[in-house]
Structure 1
């Protein structure tokens, strides 16, 4: 799996450098699904996965000018005709009529 992660990292970096947002999203989605299946099959692996993310991914992201906090918590409250828009990552485009 380590070799696959290295290859995926290289592919994502290449897609990002080329400005290929759709390829980057596809690669990220592919790995999200793989990791979700891995965790479903063996929940005990979560500790090792968190260590991998903190020890390996966070430094790699920092090299690219990004950060990894380990978790995201968002809370939004709206009342009356209010609206709440929250985004943990990516772009948010809102079109209202």
Structure 2
């Protein structure tokens, strides 16, 4: 038996501002992490984390969210509240994804 659920993958890509205003980016990092924790506590953010370089293990500046919400519009509204998005440091790309569980 296969159970399928539509969720949303959000890839966060760094903008030029991420590197041009690195001090400001670092300053808002605690607010971003607090925002992430609240979304996880709300039960809508299933997973989150940065992409890393295969060889070095270093953060590439790109990130990923996995949301459980009914529509892409709702995901967009929530992601728009992320301090990194508000600050113009990250640009989100939202895609529906069919998450399957083999039972």
- On whether the aligned pair clears a TM of 0.5, the verdict is no
TM range (shorter): 0.3 to 0.5
Structure number with higher relative contact order (C-alpha < 8 Å, ≥ 6 residues apart): 2
The structure carrying a bigger helix percent of its residues is: 1
What TM-score results when the alignment is normalised by the length of structure 1? 0.33
Computing the radius of gyration over CA atoms, which structure comes out larger, 1 or 2? 1
The structure carrying a bigger strand percent of its residues is: 2
